[in-house]
Amino acid sequence: PITEAIVAASVAAAPAARCIVDLGAGTGHQLAAVLGALPEAAGIATDAAPAALKRAVRAHARIAGVGCDVWTALPLAGASAD
């Protein structure tokens, strides 16, 4: 039920999204589900754990991984994500 709610909220908030960022993506399960509903979007999984990022980028062909700590500045350009 949580994944479905995340997908529904994401599609409602940004139906034409081109880039979705998942902070603390873990396995990438939810990001993969969102990308499944937004076929034109790419995803960026962020996580501080290298093992989590490895798993997240395998969750969907359109997920890229970025290792970072969300308590510091994110390594993303301003307005680069929806």
| Predicted confidence (pLDDT) per residue in 46-60, tens digit | 999 999 999 999 999
- Greater model confidence, 75 or 56: 56
pTM of the model: 0.89
> What pLDDT, on a 0 to 100 scale, did the predictor assign at position 82?
66
- DSSP E strands in 1-82: the ranges are 19-23, 42-47, 63-67
Q: Which range among 31-35, 69-73, 75-79 has the greatest average pLDDT?
A: 31-35
- CB 44, CB 53: distance < 8 Å: no
Question: Taking the CB of residue 18, how many other CB atoms lie within 10 A of it?
Answer: 12
Rg (CA), the chain: 12
